[in-house]
Structure 1
Amino acid sequence: MKPDSLIFDMDGTLWDAVDTYAYSWTQVLKDNGINKILTREELESYMGMEMKQIFDKVIPDASAETVEKLYNDVIKKEHEVISEMGGKIYPGVLEGLEELSGRYKLFMLSNCQEGGIKDFMNYTETKYLFTDYMEYGMNFQPKHINLKILIDRHNLKNPMYVGDTDSDRKQCELVHVPFVFISWGFGNTEKYALRFDKMQELTDYFMHLDKE
């Protein structure tokens, strides 16, 4: 069945900004007297998690008050540095989004902090391509709840979610949304409705569907 909309994950799907995130986290930890360097490898293993779940991994013994302060500090730091450091946009993403937006409603849904998607859109100058978006930081709800919010808000009948982790797949199953797995990101899964290894392949597939 041809979808009426495509909902994209951000990190690991559209771009890789892990180096920027790791720098931001490490600076905030240092500024708060915590002697820990968050490496790219460690942070990459947490990608796809909700932000406060990552804090449980990075500083498991921290108090709730400390986590709340660090959470807000990390958000502020990421907003400051993302405009300069940005992220690595995966090959074919910008061209693909431009093409797909002419025939589908496009959305973004991420477990990032509030403002993370806006930072991405500003850096890549892609805001005009998307109808709407939801972030974990807006309401601190899991991805399937925010997916349902987008579906209900825009009366979507046949949405598909494009992501890179098995947790994305599980969240989609909770609201019966077909999951499109892309293999160039941070995760892996053996269950999906569709799989693509390049953004160009994904773009060609959905553009061809429109002509059937």
Structure 2
Amino acid sequence: MMPESDRFYFQTAMRQRLDRLAGVDLGAHADILGANRSGNALMIPFFGSIHRVSADGIMDAHGDPPTPAVGSLLLDYVLRAPIRPPAADAWITFREFSGAGPLMGYFTGNTNKLIESNFAGAVDALQAACAGLGGRTIDSAPGFDLCLQLAVLPRVSIRLRFNVRDENFPAQCTLLFRKSAETYLTLKSMAVAGTWLAGKLAKPDGR
């Protein structure tokens, strides 16, 4: 469960960002964000689930509002839209982003360690859970039992590298973002993406 201080932060951030969205030409942002326009709203997939984002609020495909953390992330993505997409660059860990230090304990405990504990000896189950979120297996990390890529948003992806537990070593999970992800999202929002993914993999039915 999210600490009350974090819940308050994201509720406040979402309200502030919705206020700022009222002055934004969303249509001008659609192509740069890889989103579709629907009236005065943008239709943006978050891990494959379409969300309607407008100054009136945010709704998922069922007409329900997202959590404040996810809502804040989606608004962050829209408000930070660059003039043009940055060039593809290196994949790096969350720790390697400038300023990530204060968030590292929260991020590691709620992403890498959570995935390691839930899938220590179950690489097939992890692969299936990721596939349910649109994850695809890629062959880009020799030495790992599994490497997958998942689209967080149209312009932001996560790579998940995983080794199962064996008699000599514990399970190991690493999450990576493109360095350019910081163009589209704050570090707080990147942390939300990682923790949402880990939580969804652990409890895909939401219970």
* Structure with larger RCO (C-alpha < 8 A, sep 6+): 1
TM-score per shorter chain, which class? Answer: under 0.3
Q: Which structure's residues are more often strand, by fraction? A: 2
* TM value normalised by structure 1: 0.25
Q: When you count helix as a share of all residues, which structure comes out higher?
A: 1
TM-score by length of 2: 0.25
